[in-house]
Structure 1
């Protein structure tokens, strides 16, 4: 009981300290605030120039605490975390940005890819879907379809691939691993047809799957994955 009371007291003290700090920052003299902001902005730029990620994050945290109304600094923090390979932190920061501005393309991208990296496919999917709706980026649509397929949401995945087959541009490419050190690029349309075949194959529709794989190979005859998948239909 004493331990619980102690922990509650510590939590109360911490929250009180945070509230007091936020209040103090809010009451900063505007001229002093501008000067402190300029110092942290300069420190951030130098830290990024010299690849000092930790110092860059400290400067951004100072700017966020001093300017809680300016979502730009939170967005920048998400980018720093993402580029440093800290996917979970990047996702959490970007999701906070999206609560304020759900049309931030940068934060949608970071949230979608970061959550996918940590294996949270169900959570990443709506961000990829929103990214496609806002930007019209076909690769976001392909990622949506791939995750839908991975989650066995077959009707949704098939709909995404049908849209891609119809709308993919000739110069759009998707990369597939050919070996541990080499990737193979194929057209977006061929990639979408291959995914269609995989969806049909999972559902036991070998005739439709075979037709999709053959169509993909007609576009890209050297498409290794489509060749391997076609062999599964025999």
Structure 2
């Protein structure tokens, strides 16, 4: 009888310990979660971020909290912290495509082009996405790796979806233009040809980039620039 009573006491204590070890059950966690949700509702990012950090400290094993934090930084163009958080996510989950894309974009915005290229190449191996390949080609161009950039561009042009896939350019802060991936790649190849000193090939490529009649300010400017020199 005494043994059974002892067993019951031990069982209750064990269940109590499990309940106590669940951070989501604590009053502090519930309070900070309520603050976080309310601040998000009112778009008070500073308060929301502070509450989210407290939740991460209280429950460091909840991967979704880091996901929320990296998206918050990324949405507000805070590239350095978004990069650092995405790196922590990738340590825990190397296959996290969102974190990998954010890390690549953050490296690019921080002008760390070598690292951005490596991140985009890793991303492409996982998502086989045309836009990712375009970023690879463009970064190779920025790094003056023109032969590699042309090879990447040709991979895109061989894909039949290049004429359907759209990409948005912003000629200025108040204007956006949507062009086909094919036009964007032809413009990029034109820039490569220009850098290599092949003016007539560049002219041909820029002309093809604007041949569909859609506004493409960058390609038009690049074409006009050939006659300025």
**Above 0.5 in TM-score?**
yes
- Structure 2 residue 25 is the aligned partner of structure 1 residue 34: yes
Q: Deviations over 1:135-175 (max 9, x none)?
A: 23322222221121111121221122112212244332223
Alignment of 1:63-212 (within 5 A): 63-167=55-159, 168-212=161-205
- For structure 1, the 5+ residue unaligned runs are 1-26
Taking the aligned partners of 1:197 and 1:101, their CA distance within structure 2 comes to 39
Cα distance in 2 for residues equivalent to 1:74 and 1:135: 22
1:61 pairs with 2:53: yes
Give the 3-state SS of the residue equivalent to 2:211 in structure 1.
helix
Equivalent pair of 1:78/1:93 in contact (CA under 8 Å): yes
1:227 matched residue in structure 2? 220
Max Rg structure: 2
Q: Give 1:96 shift.
A: 1.4
CA distance in structure 1 between the partners assigned to 2:82 and 2:93 by the alignment: 16
Report the count of equivalent residues.
Answer: 208
Q: CA deviation at 1:222?
A: 4.3
**Partner SS, residue 29 of structure 1:** helix
TM-score, normalization by structure 2: 0.78
Distance 1:171 1:38, change over 3 A: farther
Distance 2:23 2:96 in 1: 30
Where structure 2 has 5 or more consecutive residues not aligned to the other structure, the ranges are 1-17
2:210 matches 1:217: yes
Distance 1:224 1:83 in 2: 27
Structure 2 Cα separation of the partners of residues 28 and 104 of structure 1: 30
Q: Could you tell me how far apart the structure 1 residues matched to 2:33 and 2:108 are?
A: 31
Q: Does 1:43 align with 2:32?
A: no
**Equivalent residue of 1:174, what SS?**
strand
Cα offset, 1:88, TM superposition: 0.9
* CA distance in structure 1 between the partners assigned to 2:24 and 2:166 by the alignment: 48
